[in-house]
Amino acid sequence: MSGAIKGLHTNSKGYYRWQPPMRKGQRDKPIYLNTSDYVEAVKAYELAKRDWELGVATYDGTFKQAVAEYIKAQEIRLLSGDKEPATVYRAKNTLPKIDEELSRIKSGRKSKAKSYPSAKLISITKNDVEKWQKLKLTQKSERTKKPLSPSTVDTYMRVLQGFFTWCASEGKIKESPFIKIKLPKLKRTKDVKFCAVEVRDKLLENPPNEAVAFILNLGFFAGLRFEEINAMESDWIKGDVITIQATKYFKPKDKELRKIGINAKLKKFLKSYGTKEGFMYAPHHTTWNPTPSNKYRHDPKRTFQKHGQRCGIAHLSYHMLRASFATHLSMKGEKMREIARLLGDDVRTTEEHYVDHSPSNNSTDCL
């Protein structure tokens, strides 16, 4: 049935979308119809096709109004399974702040005491975006008293790029300012810091609270990403296996089920801590619902870092636990392909980070 109308088809979750034909030598993006019912999809398709054939009039709204429409469109795609939750979260959290800063730039004033009306979307130029980028790289944050890191600004720029690309595809602007802006390729270090076995055991010995203990155990003994630890639900654990799987508000980065064996130490911890009511992982009826102001159900970053400092680590990060899990397995002589499978990464990425660690006879009891 999905192929009865040209261009009308479903995604992997059964939701319909319509792919318009090529226009002026270019193919428009699919139009999401937000329904899995064929009859409703046909009605939505007829309206979508009419609007597409008429074309979109020149957009006279503000940047703020366009952002609201963009976020709504991304939420529809999220429900249809065509958008990552993290992408929608970043848009909600970042674009309203960018709107305020661009409005100040367009006004020509530096004062922060006054709010300025949102600028017209079509008035935002390449120069405005570059001024904003320079401001973020040089202006000190009120909280940290330091400018944002280049990688953070790069993330903001890519969120903004996605927004303008969508505006151009919707006919709200003639072209995205980013067509004339070349984003630099950031140099990322290949050195991955990890904890030695003795340091790992010291961190696990007296954690400051249960949230930190939960993160440490799942990171060191299962190699879970921080997002996976926070999204964890009770039915992920069956017997001696953790299965990373999608929930209503979470989608695994590798988009596939990933199974990790539970060793004796992790099993003992989960039995005593993990099953407590209202703790880190929950049954389906209390699935975690992230919001822009509260992305994670638990994020004890300061307590976590202070605990690391007490144990002799100046900058303990969540990712360091995952790196330790993989590195300990590599030192133990585990095959790189198996490590990559457990991490949910490809073999090349895993080799770049962990292949330099030669096998040793020291058991690290990661699995």
**pLDDT confidence of residue 363:** 47
Contacts of 69 (CB under 8 A, 6+ apart): none
pLDDT by residue, tens only, the chain of 367 residues: 445 788 888 888 788 888 888 876 777 778 888 788 888 888 888 887 877 765 544 578 899 999 999 998 888 877 666 666 677 878 888 999 999 889 888 877 665 556 778 988 988 988 899 999 998 888 887 777 788 888 888 889 999 999 999 998 888 887 888 887 877 776 655 555 888 899 999 999 999 988 899 899 999 999 999 888 888 887 888 889 999 988 777 778 777 789 999 999 998 888 876 555 555 565 555 666 666 556 677 788 899 999 999 999 988 999 999 999 998 888 888 888 899 899 988 888 888 776 555 555 444 566 5
**pLDDT confidence of residue 292:** 57
Whether 143 and 72 map to the same domain: the answer is: yes
**pLDDT confidence of residue 57:** 45
Whether 238 and 161 map to the same domain: the answer is: no
**pLDDT confidence of residue 205:** 93
Does residue 367 sit within a domain?
Answer: no
Q: What residue has token string 């159900």?
A: 297
Contact 150, 160 (CB under 8 A): no
Pure H helices in the chain: 38-54, 63-79, 85-107, 126-138, 150-169, 197-205, 210-222, 226-231, 264-269, 301-310, 318-332, 336-343, 347-354
Whether 204 and 339 map to the same domain: the answer is: yes
**pLDDT confidence of residue 354:** 66
> What single-letter amino acid sits at 151?
S
Contact 282, 257 (CB under 8 A): no
The CATH number of the domain holding residue 326 is 1.10.443.10
As beta bridge partners, residue 197 has none
Whether 350 and 249 map to the same domain: the answer is: yes
Task: Report the predicted TM-score, pTM, of the whole model to 2 decimal places.
Answer: 0.60
Whether 162 and 202 map to the same domain: the answer is: no
Measured between alpha carbons, how far is 33 from 8 in angstroms, rounded to an integer?
Answer: 10
**pLDDT confidence of residue 81:** 61
Does residue 366 sit within a domain?
Answer: no
Tokens of 258: 């990933």
* Structural domain of 23: 8-54
**pLDDT confidence of residue 159:** 92
Whether 233 and 347 map to the same domain: the answer is: yes
Does residue 139 sit within a domain?
Answer: yes
Whether 87 and 236 map to the same domain: the answer is: no
Measured between alpha carbons, how far is 18 from 24 in angstroms, rounded to an integer?
Answer: 18
Closest CA to 180 of 154, 156, 161: 161
Whether 214 and 269 map to the same domain: the answer is: yes
Q: What residue has token string 């958008």?
A: 83
**pLDDT confidence of residue 1:** 45
Q: What residue has token string 């226009």?
A: 23
Rg for the chain, CA atoms, rounded:
24
Residue 316 dihedral angles phi and psi, to the nearest 5° = -80, 125
Measured between alpha carbons, how far is 81 from 24 in angstroms, rounded to an integer?
Answer: 30
Does residue 304 sit within a domain?
Answer: yes
Does residue 165 sit within a domain?
Answer: yes
Whether 40 and 77 map to the same domain: the answer is: no
Whether 48 and 68 map to the same domain: the answer is: no
**pLDDT confidence of residue 298:** 74
Whether 210 and 281 map to the same domain: the answer is: yes
Task: Please state the domain count of the chain.
Answer: 3
Choose the final residue of a domain: 180, 215, 230: 180
Tokens of 210: 């249960």
Whether 41 and 169 map to the same domain: the answer is: no
Kindly state the helix (H) or strand (E) to which residue 31 belongs, with its residue range. Answer: strand 31-32
Q: How far is CA 34 from the centre of its chain?
A: 23
Tokens of 117: 């009306």
